[in-house]
Each structure stands twice: as structure tokens, then as C-alpha cells.
């Protein structure tokens, strides 16, 4: 069965454009004074230890991941941040300065090693007294921790709300996050500031104004189709809050962790790139299958995520389990994802006028890495179960 759509199902593009423009102007004013220039001008790309290793992370694991990124093509594709998540913390010394635990004998040396590979070093903490895994948080020690991170050469901080709810009221969340931003700024070191608060208090409304470079919009992702698709497709409507220096974050990538099949991982990567989401691989890079590396490093898909316009895709049509999303690009072309969330393969049809394309256009398949030819009026394609076809369209 062929699925088409009609004008009465199309999104009112003019209304969305007016809303997005108004929101963007608001954030330009707020973000200009709150953020470090040129930090996260495009969505950050790298690796984070949590999804695969959780508290089994160690100095050796992080060094192996840095080695892999530097040698397997990921660095050339844009992955530069090597981020240690929870479970690295030890105790504080007599001056209140945080120290790493025995799994991380020398954080400065680890940062130096990562930097020697031409990569950047990320770390994790919480504004509460404890992290999610029960390690030492930054509560009452924001200035000391920011200075320690800077001394280690940290380039990225993920700041996870977790136990902060024990000591702060929900309405204090923006001020609490601003406190750490100000401490980071006082070090003079450019550090990407990632707010991890699961979308609480509609963070997209205030995240940029307090210095956030990205903010989580949902609860934690899991390596399964239901979790990934529910999170990813729920991002529609947040596109007005994303742009250079400040990004909606639907959580880290699960590509390659083994509990989804190939087409589902392709959908995962495609949707995150259309969403201009941070791309933080969460698998074991040292033991990665070639097909996983191919998904993570497709240059034409990554180019959508890293497009300098910084526009986040939005849904332009849906019918049952079928959805079409579009994303305007800096060169005037349009990226379109035709998604099949259903249980059988299906043919989907895009009306080109609904992405602003009139007359004859050229369509390129970004996963197939090939031009499909000229089209007028409509473009149709077969989409596999739980799969996607991503195209770039230009006049």
C-alpha cells in the first residue's frame, strides 16, 4: 500500500516559521551574554562512557576509546570529545578539592593523553551532594570543582541533577545550574556545559539563558526500539529552542550496543542528525563491528547534524506509524527523513511543495550515497520496517 498525504494534513509552515523566528530572536539575546563564543557552535560530537560501561569505566577504558577515535576515522568524521561519565570520583582533600578514585590514578595525565590525540576531555558531576551512582557531587563545592576540572584540562562538563532534588526546590533549578556555569566561566577555560535534568522545568525555555550549551529533553535512553523511538520522535515542537551554541539533547547514542537491529540503529542515527542533537557514541569503540562504524561515520548524514544553519528538523506529516520530517540546510537545500515506525515495509510519498520545492528537483539518497535523479511534484520510496530513507533535495 502506498501512503500519500494531502494539504489538509500538511503542517501550517507559515505559523511554524513565525513561532520559530520569534523564539530564535529571544534566544539570540539571552545566549549572546550567557555563553562562551564558539563553544558548541555545532552539536558536540564524541563518546561517553555511561551507556556501555556505566561504573565499569576506568582510565584504561577511556584511553582505549581515545585510541580508537583517533585511529578508526571517527576523529576525521568530527567525534572529538572523550567523556568520562559517573563513577570516577574519589574523596575530597582537606581543602575540599575533589580527587579521583583508584580507577583513575591521574586525571591530569588522562586529560593530557586525550589532548595528545587531538581530542577533547569531558567529565561528569552533579549539583547535588551525590551523583546518580552515589559518588561525590559538587554541592557546596562548585568553585573548587570548576577550578579542578580546568586544571585537568577538561573541555566538557555533563552536570546531572540526580540528588540535587534532596537539597534544592524544583524552582531553584535554573539558579543552581547557573551557579556552576559561572564557576566554569571564572576559570577562563572554554568548557561545553551540558545540562542533564531530563527535561524537567521545561529546560528548553531557560537553558541557554543560564549558559547551557545543551540540555536533556527526556529521561534516559535505553538500547531498544521502544525507548529510542519514543524519545526521538517526541522532539517535535522543540525546534524553536535549538541553534548554534545551544542544543536540545535527546540523550546519547546507543548505536552498536547490540539490542537493536541494523535498520533501527540507522533510524536512531538519522533522527539524531536531523534533530541537530549532540552525537555522543555510547558503545565499546575498541570492539566495534565495521557496520557500526559505518553508521556512526557516514559523512553525508553527519553533515546534516553539523550543518552551520543549526536548524532542528520537525515533523511535516504523520499517518499511523509513518512520519516525514524536514530540516532546512545552510546551502538552501532540504534534508528529509521518511520514517516507517510500522511492522512491515511501506512505500511513502513526499509532496515536494510541502518542503518548499517547486518544479524539478534533484534528490540524493544519503545512506545509499547516490543521486536518485530528477523529480517533480512527488518523491516516493520504499522504507523498511523500523527504517528510514534520508534524502537531500535541491533545485
Q: Which of 157, 185, 177 is nearest to 98 (CA)?
A: 157
Task: Look up residue 198 and give its three cell numbers.
Answer: 531530563
> Per-domain residue ranges for the chain?
2-21+313-394, 23-305
Pair 211, 190: CB distance under 8 Å: no
Task: Look up residue 327 and give its three cell numbers.
Answer: 530540516
Helix (H, G, I), strand (E, B) or coil at 286: helix
Task: Note the pLDDT tens digit of each residue in 173-205.
Answer: 999 999 999 999 999 999 999 999 999 999 999
Going residue by residue through the chain, which has 395 residues, state the pLDDT in tens, using 9 for 90 and above. Answer: 444 443 334 434 444 444 444 444 444 444 444 555 579 999 999 999 999 999 999 999 999 999 999 999 999 999 999 999 999 999 999 999 999 999 999 999 999 999 999 999 999 999 999 999 999 999 999 999 999 999 999 999 999 999 999 999 999 999 999 999 999 999 999 999 999 999 999 999 999 999 999 999 999 999 999 999 999 999 999 999 999 999 999 999 999 999 999 999 999 999 999 999 999 999 999 999 999 999 999 999 999 999 999 999 999 999 999 999 999 999 999 999 999 999 999 999 999 999 999 999 999 999 999 999 999 999 999 999 999 999 999 99
Backbone angles phi, psi at 236, to 5 degrees: -60, 135
The whole-angstrom separation of Cα 326 and Cα 338 is 9
Q: Which residues contact 355 (CB under 8 A, 6 or more apart)?
A: 316, 326, 334, 336, 393
The whole-angstrom separation of Cα 185 and Cα 188 is 6
Active-site residue (options: 86, 160, 249, 354): 160
Backbone angles phi, psi at 253, to 5 degrees: -80, 140
The whole-angstrom separation of Cα 222 and Cα 258 is 11
Q: Is 305 a catalytic residue?
A: no
**Measured CA angle at 120 (ends 114, 126), to 5 deg:** 105
Q: What topology does CATH give the domain 23-305?
A: TIM Barrel (3.20.20)
Q: Tell me the whole-structure pTM to 2 decimals.
A: 0.91
In b/e form, how buried is each residue of 338-364, taking b as 16+ CB within 10 angstroms?
bbbbbeeebebbbbbebbebeeebbbb
User: Which CATH superfamily does the domain covering 2-21+313-394 fall into?
Assistant: Golgi alpha-mannosidase II (2.60.40.1180)
Pair 152, 120: CB distance under 8 Å: no
Quickly list DSSP for 2-16: EE---GGGS--HHHH
Task: Note the pLDDT tens digit of each residue in 316-352.
Answer: 999 999 999 999 999 999 999 999 999 999 999 999 9
Active-site residue (options: 4, 67, 182, 220): 220
Q: Is 371 a catalytic residue?
A: no
Backbone angles phi, psi at 195, to 5 degrees: -85, 120
Question: How would you class 19 by CB atoms within 10 Å of its CB: exposed for 0-12, middle for 13-18, buried for 19 or more?
Answer: middle
Q: Which of 75, 144, 148, 77 is nearest to 108 (CA)?
A: 148
Amino acid at each position: 500500500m502506498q501512503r500519500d498525504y494531502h494539504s489538509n494534513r500538511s503542517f501550517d509552515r507559515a505559523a511554524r516559521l513565525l513561532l520559530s523566528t520569534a523564539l530564535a530572536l529571544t534566544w539570540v539575546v539571552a545566549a549572546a551574554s550567557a555563553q562562551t563564543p564558539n563553544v558548541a557552535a555545532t552539536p558536540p560530537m564524541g563518546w561517553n562512557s555511561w551507556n556501555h560501561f556505566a561504573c565499569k569505566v576506568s582510565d584504561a577504558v577511556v584511553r582505549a576509546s581515545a585510541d580508537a577515535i583517533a585511529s578508526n576515522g571517527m576523529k576525521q568524521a568530527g567525534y572529538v570529545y572523550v567523556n568520562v561519565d559517573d563513577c570516577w570520583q574519589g574523596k575530597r582533600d582537606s581543602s575540599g578539592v575533589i580527587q579521583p578514585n583508584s580507577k583513575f590514578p591521574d586525571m591530569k595525565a588522562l586529560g593530557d593523553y586525550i589532548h595528545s590525540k587531538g581530542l577533547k576531555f569531558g567529565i561528569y558531576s552533579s549539583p547535588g551532594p551525590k551523583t546518580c551512582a552515589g559518588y561525590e557531587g559538587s554541592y557546596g563545592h562548585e568553585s573548587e570543582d570548576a577550578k579542578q576540572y580546568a586544571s585537568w584540562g577538561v573541555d566538557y562538563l555533563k552536570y546531572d541533577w540526580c540528588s540535587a532534588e534532596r537539597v534544592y526546590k524544583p524552582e531553584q533549578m535554573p539558579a543552581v545550574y547557573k551557579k556552576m556555569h559561572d564557576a566554569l566561566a571564572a576559570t577562563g577555560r572554554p568548557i561545553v556545559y551540558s545540562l542533564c535534568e531530563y527535561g524537567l522545568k521545561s529546560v528548553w525555555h531557560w537553558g541557554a539563558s543560564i549558559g547551557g550549551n545543551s540540555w536533556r529533553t527526556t529521561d534516559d535512553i535505553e538500547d531498544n526500539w521502544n525507548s529510542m523511538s519514543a524519545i526521538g520522535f517526541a522532539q517535535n515542537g522543540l525546534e524553536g529552542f535549538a541553534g548554534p551554541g545551544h542544543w536540545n539533547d535527546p540523550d546519547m547514542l546507543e548505536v552498536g550496543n547490540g539490542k537493536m537491529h541494523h535498520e533501527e540503529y540507522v533510524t536512531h542515527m538519522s533522527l539524531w542528525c536531523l534533530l541537530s542533537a549532540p552525537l555522543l557514541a555510547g558503545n565499546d569503540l575498541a570492539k566495534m563491528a565495521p557496520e557500526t562504524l559505518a553508521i556512526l561515520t557516514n559523512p553525508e548524514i553527519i553533515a546534516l547534524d553539523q550543518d552551520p544553519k543549526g536548524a532542528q528538523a520537525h515533523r511535516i506529516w504523520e499517518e499511523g506509524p509513518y512520519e516525514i520530517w524536514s530540516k532546512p540546510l545552510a546551502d538552501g537545500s532540504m534534508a528529509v527523513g521518511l520514517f516507517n515506525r510500522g511492522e512491515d515495509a511501506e512505500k511513502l510519498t513526499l509532496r515536494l511543495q510541502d518542503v518548499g520545492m517547486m518544479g524539478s528537483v534533484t534528490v540524493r539518497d544519503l545512506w545509499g550515497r547516490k543521486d536518485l535523479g530528477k523529480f517533480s511534484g512527488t518523491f516516493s520510496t520504499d522504507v523498511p520496517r523500523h527504517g528510514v530513507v534520508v534524502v537531500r533535495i535541491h533545485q
